[in-house]
Structure 1
């Protein structure tokens, strides 16, 4: 289902690892249907039960012409690096994988970043949690940006709060969830891993070209006459 707050004519498509916990919490706080749950709505573990993240379906989105339609996107590299720092390193999610625990798949549950990204396809096949958070943005936003009144970057959460406040005439505050203690950088990874990620994220950056530059593309050198 689309995440909707019909009382305020809001429609939101969530992208995993793109501030979706924070946005869902902000919406729950102003949604009359969640009034009795407001005490728990700001807890990260509750907001995903209230508003599940689903893939984009054009036929569901096309009926929302009277709503303020928006989504939030994140730089593809930063989003994928956060899968490691938050889900793997921070939450230890791989230790809960039934396939690994039962010995059906032989992968370390505490891989270093290079091993994880060089074997990302294996981890996606092994862990539904990793798969969900690493899926391409386009599966959650659709390919056509024109269906949205606005697409916000994760760096524009203050702008989102202002936009929602103006639209709803309510004081909308976007809380901050899922901040990892460690900031993993591209330069922290081996050259081989960087090459793997460059290929892996090529289509993702093409889809998000209106919002982010591809860091794997070297600037073109202009010939000197």
Structure 2
């Protein structure tokens, strides 16, 4: 689903864990069709209810060819790690998982409150257990499409200030680009065990290949198992 602000001919494809809470809030304040709630009634879910994040559909995206189309991407390691710090620790998606609470047989070996290593070593299992985890931890192209050249501009999360400036020029209105839904804890790739990195590396390699114009894979080329060289850590 394209998040469109018809009044200003803006079309945004949201990528989970890539600044979408901040961008949605900024767009909602620019969109005259959105009924603004009272400040005290705003929650972390308010703007996601207004603009749900849906997967990319080429035929729907084409309907907005005359709009200023943009998306925001994030460093794949940071995006994936934030699934744990934000969705698992902060919002308790696994504690709230019905499948985990019911103790399904295929979930008997995993915890509802896993450590980072347990979570990422069993990421595919946790994605099956929680639709929210799956939503936030699947490939970027499923939300922004395979052709990033189809956008007027692709921003990195580091460039949200520039996005705010550009939106103000396009709409001729002041734009506040808030920083929303930040994780309350920090986690670095160096905090993970080598076998955990091995488990998530195929996913990360694919994400860095897709976003190679914007981010370089800091893990470097994958080495054969017989090599004695350790995986290079990221600071």
Instruction: Indicate yes or no: 2:107 matched with 1:110.
Output: no
Q: CA deviation at 1:37?
A: 3.5
- Separation in structure 1 between the aligned mates of residue 200 and residue 86 of structure 2, nearest angstrom: 18
- Separation in structure 2 between the aligned mates of residue 90 and residue 43 of structure 1, nearest angstrom: 15
- Separation in structure 1 between the aligned mates of residue 215 and residue 38 of structure 2, nearest angstrom: 35
- 1:22 matched to which residue of 2? 22
3-state SS in 2 of match to 1:124:
helix
- 1:97 matched to which residue of 2? 97
Single out whichever of 122-131 and 196-205 deviates more from structure 2.
196-205
Determine which of 105, 128, 134 is the counterpart of 1:131: 134
- 1:31 matched to which residue of 2? 31
- 1:69 matched to which residue of 2? 69
| CA spacing shift, 1:42–1:67, aligned 2, 3 Å | farther
- 2:194 matched to which residue of 1? 191
| CA spacing shift, 1:210–1:120, aligned 2, 3 Å | same
Give ranges in structure 1 of 5+ residues lacking alignment.
220-225
Determine which of 167, 173, 183 is the counterpart of 1:180: 183
CA contact (8 A) 2:77 2:204 kept: yes
Give ranges in structure 2 of 5+ residues lacking alignment.
223-235
- 2:57 matched to which residue of 1? 57
Q: CA deviation at 1:212?
A: 0.4
Deviations 1:128-176 (A, max 9, x none): 0100000100000111111100000000010000010000001111111
3-state SS in 2 of match to 1:92:
coil
TM-score (norm: length of structure 1): 0.93
Q: CA deviation at 1:49?
A: 0.8
Question: Which has more helix, going by share of residues?
Answer: 1
3-state SS in 2 of match to 1:81:
helix
Determine which of 122, 128, 131 is the counterpart of 2:125: 122
Deviations 1:33-92 (A, max 9, x none): 114446479642111110010111111111212211000000111000000000111111
- Separation in structure 1 between the aligned mates of residue 190 and residue 36 of structure 2, nearest angstrom: 47
- Separation in structure 2 between the aligned mates of residue 181 and residue 49 of structure 1, nearest angstrom: 22
- 1:222 matched to which residue of 2? none
Instruction: Indicate yes or no: 2:209 matched with 1:206.
Output: yes
3-state SS in 1 of match to 2:45:
helix
CA contact (8 A) 2:29 2:36 kept: no
The RMSD of aligned alpha carbons is 1.6
- Separation in structure 1 between the aligned mates of residue 160 and residue 91 of structure 2, nearest angstrom: 24
| CA spacing shift, 1:170–1:40, aligned 2, 3 Å | farther
